[in-house]
Chain A
Amino acid sequence: MATAHLPTRPRVPAAAEAAIPPSNIRGNARRRPGFRRDQLTGWGMIAPAAVLLLAFIFIPAILGFGLAFTNARLISPRPVEFVGVDNFARLFTDPTFYRALLNVAYFTVVIVPVQSGLALVMALLINKKFRGVNFFRTVYFLPVVTSMVVVSLLWLFMYRKDGLVNEILSAVSFGLIDGPDWLGDPNTAMPAIIILSIWQAAGFHMIIWLAGLQGISGELYEAAQLDGTSRWQQFRYVTWPGLFHTRSLVLVTITIQALGLFDQISVMTQGGPMDSTTTIIYEAVQSGYRQQETSYASAISLVFFVLVLIVSAVQRYLTREKD
C-alpha cells in the first residue's frame, strides 16, 4: 500500500550493534596498549568544559536550590537563616505568580506551533534551487543574529500609539482602523510580544528544519514520484516522517526558549500593563535584584526548573520512537 512508511533514515543494522560487544569483552579482559592514555586524553579534553559548566552552571544551580529554603537577601547585615518552605508558601499564595504562569503558558501554547510551523514553511520555501535563494535565506535569518534587546527596542517604537504598525494599519485600511496602544493595553500587549518573538526567532528554527530537510535522501522523492504521488502526499509520507528527529529537537528547543521568556518583557513592558505580560523569569529577576530578595527569587527559579523538567519529560515521552 502507498501508505507504508518509508524508512526515514538508514537504520543501523542489528548485526552491527551486536558486533561491538564481543570486542569490548575482549578489551576488558586484556586492555589494548594505550588504553589508559586514551582514557586520560578523554578526561583532559572534557576538563575545560566540565570545569566551566561546574563553576557557572551546576554550583550556582545547587546553591540556588539551597538558598530557596533560607531568608537570604542580596545585601543585608542579617545572618542567613533556614526558613523551610516559607518562600514556597508565599509563592503559591501570590496571585502575580499564577498570572505569570498563565502568561507563560499562553505564550508557549501559541509560540510553539506557530513559530515552528512558520519556520517549516520558510524552510520548505528556501529548500529549492533557484536564483537568489541565498538572498532569502539571509533575509529570513537576519533577525536571529540581531540581539533580542535591540529588536525589542525597535518594536517598542513601532508598537506605539502613533508608531509604524498603526500607521501602516491606518494606511492600508484608508484610515478605518485606529490601532490601539499595543503594549499599553492588557488585551494586546501579549499578542504584540508574541508576534515580535516569532519574527525574531523563526529564522533560527528555519535553519534547523532546513538541515533536517536536506538530510532526507533525494532518492526517496524520486521513488515517490515514480509511484505517482502528489505534492501533498510527498510531504505527508516522505518529508514529514523524514523530519522525525528534527521535529523533536525543534519542539523541545522552542518550548524551553518560550518558557524562559524574559528579554522582550524586560525591555518593552516590565511585566505590565496590570501583570498581563509578566513571566516567571521576569518575576525572579525583579524580586532577586530590584527587591533584593535572593531567597524568594531562588524559590521561583526552583519552581521554574521543576516545571521545565516536567514539560520536557512529557515532550520526550510523547515524541519517543515507538517501536
Chain B
Amino acid sequence: MNKKLTKVLATSIAAVALTSTLAACGKGSASSNEGSGEIALWTHNAGNPDELAAVQKIVDSYNGSQDKVKIKVQAFPQDSYNDSVVSAAAAGNLPCIVDIDGPNVPNWAWAGYLAPLELDTDLSKHLPSTVAEWDGQPYAVGYYDVALAMMARASDLEAAGVRVATMEQPWTKEEFQDALTKLKALGKWEHPLDLGTAGTGEWLPYAYSPFLQSFGGDLVNRDGFQSAEGALNGDEAVEWANWFRDLADQGFMARKSGKDSTQDFLNNKSAIVYTGSWAADKAQAALGDDLVVMPPVDLGEGPKIGGASWQWGVTSGCSNTEAAMDYLSYSLKPENIAAVAKATGAIPASEEAAAQTPSFAEGGANRIFMDFSREYAVMRPETPAYPFIATEYGKAVQDILNGADPKSTLDSAVKAIDANIKSNGGYKN
C-alpha cells in the first residue's frame, strides 16, 4: 500500500495512544508506587523548609529502621495544598499518608477518604487538640499544636500606663478598649493593634472565631451541628461583629493590616500584635526581655483560641494501611515530636516530648503557649460542614470589617450554612 497513508495513520494512532497513556498514568501513579513497597506521603510544607526537613528526617530514620517499606515525601505549597488534595481525592489519586489541617478532618472522614487510626501510641496522653476525632474515632493526629496570643513590648505598655495581662487576670473588653485608647494617645503608631486583618482563607475562622466564642456566640450550634441559627447570628454574635468593626472604626487597627504582622510589630509599626506561637522565637530573639506574651482578651466567656493545627492521617484507599499506621506510630515517638517542635517552634503534642524540648519544658520560655492551648483551645466545629462554614464565616468577617451591616451579613451566612447542611442530609452517615 502507499507509504504516505500508513505514515499518517501510524502518527495519529501514536498520538491517540500517547494521550490515553498519559491519562492512564495520571490515574495510576499514586497507587503504582505502592506495589513496590513504596508509600507516598504528602505534606503542605513545601514553603516551610525547617518543618519539611524535620519531617524528612523522621521519614529517613523510619526508612532506615526497617526494609519492608519505603516512605516517599512529596511536599506541596500550603496555599494550594487543600485544593490539590481534594481534587486528588475526587480523582481517586490520594497517597497513603496525608497531612491535613485539623478542622478539615471530619469532612474527609465523612467523605470516606480517611481510615480510622489504629496506632500503638497512647493518644490519651497527647494534647486533646492534636487528635482529630469524628464519630467517636480518631482519624488524624498531629505532632504539634499552635496557640494564638497577644504580644507587646513591656516598655510600651508601661509608657501608656497599661497593665500586662496574665492568665490569672486577662484583659476584659473594657480594659482592652482602655489600653488601646491609651496606646493610641501615645501617638507612636497609626494603628496600635494588629489583628492580622490582611489574612485570608483559614486564618479568618482560625483567628477570629475565638473572639466570637468568647462573646458567647459560635460558628454553628454544636448540638448535632444541624444549624447555625442563633449561634452565628444571635445577639452575642452581633455584639462580636460590632466590637470587631469598632476596633477598625476607632482607628485602633487597620481594615487591612500589613502582609507580615509579626515583622510590622518588630519594626514598631504596631504596639500589640495578635499572632501565634510560631512567631514567638523570632520576637523573643528581637526583643528579648521586653517582649510580653499575653492571653487574648476575655470578652465575656473567658479567653479563647483556636485548637488543632496540621495533622497526619491514613487514606482509606491505601493498599498497605498496616505499614502506613506503623510509620505514624513510629513518627509519634517523643523524640520525633520534640524534633519537629524544635524545628517549627510549635507546641509539642505530648508532655513527654515537651520535656525534651527546652523551650516548652517546665519553666521554658514558650511554656506559656502550652498552657494557653490547654486552657483556652476551642476546637473548630467537628463537622463535615466545616470547610463550607469556614468560607462563609471568612467572607462575613471581611464584609463586616469593610462596613457591611453585621446582622444582615451574619443572617445571610447562617442561611447559606443551613442550606448547605440541609442539602447534604445533615452530614449524617
Interface residues of A (CB under 8 A from B): 37, 40-41, 44-45, 47-48, 51-52, 55, 71, 73-78, 90, 95, 161, 181, 184, 186, 270-275, 286, 289-293
Candidates A40, A78, A275; contact of B5 at CB < 8 Å: A40
* B200 at the A interface (CB under 8 A): yes
B83 touches A274 (CB 8 A): no
A272 to B204, CA, bound (A): 14
A289 touches B83 (CB 8 A): yes
A289 touches B86 (CB 8 A): yes
A184 touches B256 (CB 8 A): yes
Query: If the complex has contacts A75-B113, A184-B256, are A51 and B8 also in contact, measured as CB distance less than 8 A?
Result: no
Name the distance in Å between A72's Cβ and chain B's nearest Cβ: 10
Name the distance in Å between B419's Cβ and chain A's nearest Cβ: 7
The interface residues of chain A lying within 8 Å CB-to-CB of B254 are: 161
A47 touches B402 (CB 8 A): no
A293 to B107, CA, bound (A): 13
Residue of B nearest to A290 (CB): B391
The interface residues of chain A lying within 8 Å CB-to-CB of B398 are: 272-274
Candidates A37, A45, A274; contact of B399 at CB < 8 Å: A274
Q: Can you show 8 pairs from A to B with CB atoms below 8 A apart?
A: A37-B2, A41-B4, A48-B15, A52-B19, A55-B23, A75-B113, A77-B429, A181-B256
The interface residues of chain B lying within 8 Å CB-to-CB of A184 are: 255-256, 402
Query: If the complex has contacts A74-B90, A290-B391, A291-B388, are A273 and B9 also in contact, measured as CB distance less than 8 A?
Result: no
Q: Label chain A's interface by main secondary structure.
A: loop
The interface residues of chain B lying within 8 Å CB-to-CB of A186 are: 402
Candidates B8, B112, B404, B419; contact of A41 at CB < 8 Å: B8
A106 to B275, CA, bound (A): 38
Number of A-B contacts (CB under 8 A): 90
* B21 at the A interface (CB under 8 A): no
Binary contact track B238-257/A, C-beta < 8 Å → 1, others 0: 00000000000000001110
By Cβ-Cβ distance, the 10 closest A-B pairs, closest first, are A44-B8, A273-B402, A75-B111, A48-B15, A47-B12, A44-B12, A184-B256, A77-B112, A274-B402, A290-B391
A71 touches B423 (CB 8 A): yes
A290 to B425, CA, bound (A): 19
Name the distance in Å between B123's Cβ and chain A's nearest Cβ: 25
A35 to B407, CA, bound (A): 74
Candidates B4, B108, B387, B402; contact of A272 at CB < 8 Å: B402
